[in-house]
Chains A and B, each alone.
Chain A
């Protein structure tokens, strides 16, 4: 009896680790808010040069949107205890994450070769490298976590675990996805 009561009481509260993740997301948002406000401030000053978006970024955008969807499916199959499906889906998310980072890299290369470089006068291009680069680093962090999860899934050690880590992974992954969409719209709008 007492056990049951205490457990339902626990259920109502958000898991502390999940909560920590949300606060961390708030913190990451502040970082990008700082950078994009700097971008706005600078874009109103003399000598600002706008840049066009490399078209590879459209493919990367598609990739990360798709990966979010796959991640959500992975979470669902985990909750339904369909482990075989979960394994495939989480590995697919991982692969899509890697693809995204590679595509971003190709986009940077395209931009670099078109003459937008670090040296010399300032402009949207330099910000783009820094902001999108930092975003890619955050994705990379997620990719590493996904890799660990996939390996664990294939080693079949997941039976004991609750769904919290997978849920947290999904939350973070959707976050970096949304963050990218925000940045993309921002670059196009303010650019």
Chain B
């Protein structure tokens, strides 16, 4: 099947005319507002839908963190305004324990899954895979549309859980049973957790539909000449991301299904010998194992953190090469390390379970495999730095965010090496050190990759530029702020401050962290405000930004910049261009850049 028939939604009609590329795509299929912007099958529109939905979620999830930071920074102060907005959840202007746990749970779930998975992969896989591979659209535009709408339904269910009278799920983003399995233990474990599970199941379906399409498109729909080794690293990264998702999300789904049974039908997959003091009741469940849930959860959970980081790695590789006007250093090593990370990601999940009573010998194997991840990670860092080294760097906001990404990835990766040692982890597990580690290496770093991508491809998405001055402010405040927020948490964690506690006043030895916690809260609020500024920039620039006049504004080699300024459904008006070289011929033979579509000249040197 060719790209052409695919676009017209009649995949099986094999006729002679499918090879006449030329007359297609000039005509528009009488699109209405609904088919063009809402139930669109155009991958570019679907990408924007993911992005904008992700932005909305990021505001909600980010706001939640500012609220619970208020509690952590100012535990004995009251904020009457909170009571005005949240009623009994903030009685007397103080965040109530149930509300606090609901906030951290939703913050984690929303940012990990809805923003940094759907909002990040969903946006850039949709936008870039067809454009950079040279395809008219995805292998199945229809499944692709469904992928978005399942995400949308997941979002609706998750939002609705915020409004039920017993409150949303509040057992942490990992939702460990027995807490998450028994409504008697906790308000949030009532209907809120069922809604959470249903939303997550819909989310898994969305991810799977998306992932299937991404893999199939990358492997089957590349344009002529685009061999796998000529693909830009963005595509390689998105490819491995999709593989991780397709193989690990179904296992999470199994875990959730068993949890739903335990919750609602009385089975004992995870529950055993439980006496509930609140109700004075002994449960009949026997033989269940809560650890089983942790295995099923982290079998996805660990790959999930790489699902979040890999797309950012790809974006950063591309943006750094384009903006240092140099070929990416060690292309094959970059692909190889992505591959190694993907394989290892499936083999290390138990490092989240070192203190569950895991057999120490088994633990030591997981220590070894976990520490091995440092090798491909270090290769990548080395290659990014060498790409920048003596480059002709253009400091656009996208470049800055990419450099910031590298910095954060180094800082957070180093603390991973501490945690990967099971003996050290006994002390650090469930402390603020963990919070610091994963926010720096995953949370903030992936956001930086995403920002880099948005600043870089905004001209392709909307035909206008984002405002750079606001971009620079956005970068510097976020960069400094992120370190100010998360760096001190390492010290708190080393001193033993536990995560997930809303009030530390019971520990006198933690009192001296009081001012530090206030500082962190204030900085969080500032950083959050700056994100709102970015969002303003985003929407303002869609309509009023400086217009893009040049087809290839960054002087980049990849195929997306050979499309018209505002490409229609089908991307290229004529034939899809043929590819003759890899994506990284920058600064070669005295030329600043050589697009992939340019045939290799006679006297040209090899890269």
Contacts and interface: CB of A to CB of B under 8 A. Distances in A.
A134 B257 contact: yes
A30 B266 contact: no
Interface in B211-254: 211-213, 215-217, 219-221, 246-251, 253-254
B253 A31 contact: yes
A130 interface: yes
Interface stretch (A2-10, A87-95, A104-112, A171-179): A2-10
A164 B12 contact: yes
A31 B12 contact: no
A2 B272 CA distance: 69
B250 A126 contact: no
Contacts of A160: 12-13
A122 B269 contact: yes
Given A26-B246, A30-B251, A122 B286 contact: yes
A84 to B, nearest CB: 21
B139 A20 contact: yes
Interface stretch (B287-295, B326-334, B504-512, B599-607): B287-295
Given A3-B19, A122-B269, A122-B287, A20 B254 contact: no
Contact of B16 (A3, A34, A45): A3
B296 interface: yes
A118 B261 contact: yes
A34 B251 contact: yes
A121 B262 CA distance: 11
B250 A28 contact: yes
Contacts of B19: 2-3, 6-7
A23 B285 contact: no
Contacts of B258: 35, 38, 130
Contacts of A47: 272, 286-287
Contacts of A46: 287
Contacts of B287: 42, 45-49, 121-123
A168 B398 CA distance: 43
B16 A16 contact: no
Interface in B184-233: 208, 211-213, 215-217, 219-221
A31 B251 contact: yes
A24 B2 contact: no
B264 to A, nearest CB: 9
Q: Of residues A2, A7, A17, A28, which shows the largest number of chain B Cβ atoms within 10 Å of its Cβ?
A: A17
Contacts of B467: none
B284 A121 contact: yes
A15 interface: yes
Interface residues of A, number: 46
Given A41-B292, A122-B288, A13 B220 contact: yes
B254 A34 contact: yes
B374 to A, nearest CB: 27
A38 B296 contact: yes
B488 to A, nearest CB: 39
Nearest to B16: A3
Given A14-B220, A123-B287, A26 B296 contact: no
B282 interface: no
B268 A126 contact: yes
A19 B219 contact: yes
A123 B288 CA distance: 9
Contacts of A19: 139, 216, 219-220
Interface string B1-31: 1100010000111101001000000000000
A115 interface: no
A130 B16 contact: no
Contact of A24 (B16, B212, B289): B212
Contacts of A62: none
B140 A30 contact: no
Q: Of residues B6, B268, B285, B288, which shows the largest number of chain A Cβ atoms within 10 Å of its Cβ?
A: B268
A5 to B, nearest CB: 9
B250 A42 contact: no
B299 interface: yes
Contact of B143 (A7, A20, A119): A20
B1 A16 contact: yes
A16 B255 CA distance: 30
Contacts of B2: 6, 10
A149 to B, nearest CB: 13
Contact of B292 (A42, A48, A130): A42
Interface in B531-550: none
A126 B139 contact: no
Nearest to A121: B286
B289 A45 contact: yes
A144 to B, nearest CB: 15
28 contacts: A2-B19, A3-B16, A6-B2, A6-B19, A10-B1, A14-B220, A16-B6, A16-B139, A16-B217, A17-B139, A23-B215, A23-B216, A26-B246, A27-B208, A27-B250, A31-B250, A34-B250, A38-B269, A46-B287, A48-B287, A118-B261, A119-B266, A121-B284, A122-B269, A123-B287, A162-B14, A164-B11, A165-B12
Given A17-B1, A19-B219, A120-B268, 11 more contacts: A13-B220, A16-B6, A17-B139, A23-B211, A28-B250, A42-B287, A45-B287, A119-B284, A120-B266, A122-B268, A122-B286
Closest 4 CB pairs of A and B: A47-B287, A31-B250, A34-B251, A121-B286
